[in-house]
Amino acid sequence: MNSDRRDHALIDRCKRGDRRALEELIGHYEKPVFNAAYRILGNPDDAADASQVAFMKAFEHLDQYDPKYKFFSWIYRIAVNESINQRKRARNQQPLDDKEVTDVRGPEATAQAGDLSGKIQDGLMELKDDYRTVVVLRHFSDCSYRQISEILQIPEKTVKSRLYSARQLMKEALVARGVY
């Protein structure tokens, strides 16, 4: 059974109240959703919260899910939006004096900053949300242009142009950190 058919079968069972199907579906997407949220937010605790809210919203509105589209795209879209909104909320809650500081990561992520992974995550966090999102979906979620287009509901052409610009900025951020 391919993943689309499998997902649709599980969703049907969820709609009939089958909790095993719910657990199976979450099991398939827990890790990729968490990883996308982690790369957007840069903090594992916030990523776990965003993942949880994303799944809860998805299942709360399961009746609105259109089976023409992949469940994968739908849950990713909700997770990405939730992550971005969470980051905006975190920024808004910062004291006025700190408004210019955009890095809202926790101590665990900050501690990683000395290694390559930390430097790359630092570079990612410097990007605007739109740019960071396409980089995350392409490089950390392994999505194609078409999948990114479907998840973000933007034309493929926009995906490409954002990705090119984001890479340029990412490269500059990594050069500044001595990675190149």
Partner 1 sequence: MISERILELINADIDGELRPEDQSELDAALESSAEARAVKSELQKLSNLMDSLPPQQPPRGLGSRIAGNIGLPKPESSFSLSSIFSSFQPATAGVAFAAGLLLAVGFYEFSSERAVPGDSASMVGTMIAGKGSAPEFLKNDMQLKGDGFSGTIALRETSGIYILNFDLESEINTEVKVGLDKTGFAFGGFAEIQGDENKVLESVMISGGALRVLNQGHQQFAVFLREDETGKPVHPESISIDFSSSDRL
> In the complex, what is the shortest distance from the CB of residue 97 to partner 1, in angstroms, rounded to a whole number?
32
Task: Report the C-alpha gap between 21 and 29 in whole angstroms.
Answer: 13
Residue 163 binds partner 1, judged by CB under 8 A: yes
Are 172 and 126 in contact by the 8 Å Cβ rule? The answer is no
- Only one of the segments 24-32, 71-79, 81-89, 99-107 lies at the binding site for partner 1 (rule: CB under 8 A); that segment is 24-32
> In the complex, what is the shortest distance from the CB of residue 30 to partner 1, in angstroms, rounded to a whole number?
4
Amino acid identity, position 154: I
> In the complex, what is the shortest distance from the CB of residue 91 to partner 1, in angstroms, rounded to a whole number?
22
Residue 70 binds partner 1, judged by CB under 8 A: no
Residue 139 binds partner 1, judged by CB under 8 A: yes
Backbone Cα Rg of the chain: 17
Would you call 149 helix, strand, or coil by DSSP?
A: helix
Are 96 and 35 in contact by the 8 Å Cβ rule? The answer is no
Residue 131 binds partner 1, judged by CB under 8 A: no
**Which residue in this structure is represented by tokens 């926009």?**
158
Residue 17 binds partner 1, judged by CB under 8 A: yes
Which of 41, 55, 71, 122 binds partner 1 (CB under 8 A)? It is 55
Q: Which two tokens stand for residue 60?
A: 């709360």
Angle between helices 44-60 and 19-41 (to 10 degrees): 140
Q: Which two tokens stand for residue 74?
A: 């739908």
> In the complex, what is the shortest distance from the CB of residue 26 to partner 1, in angstroms, rounded to a whole number?
5
Task: Report the C-alpha gap between 32 and 141 in whole angstroms.
Answer: 7
Which residues form the interface with partner 1 (CB under 8 A)?
A: 13-24, 26-27, 30-32, 34-35, 38, 44, 47-48, 51-52, 55-56, 59-60, 116-117, 120, 135, 138-140, 144-145, 160, 163-164, 167, 170-171, 174, 179-180
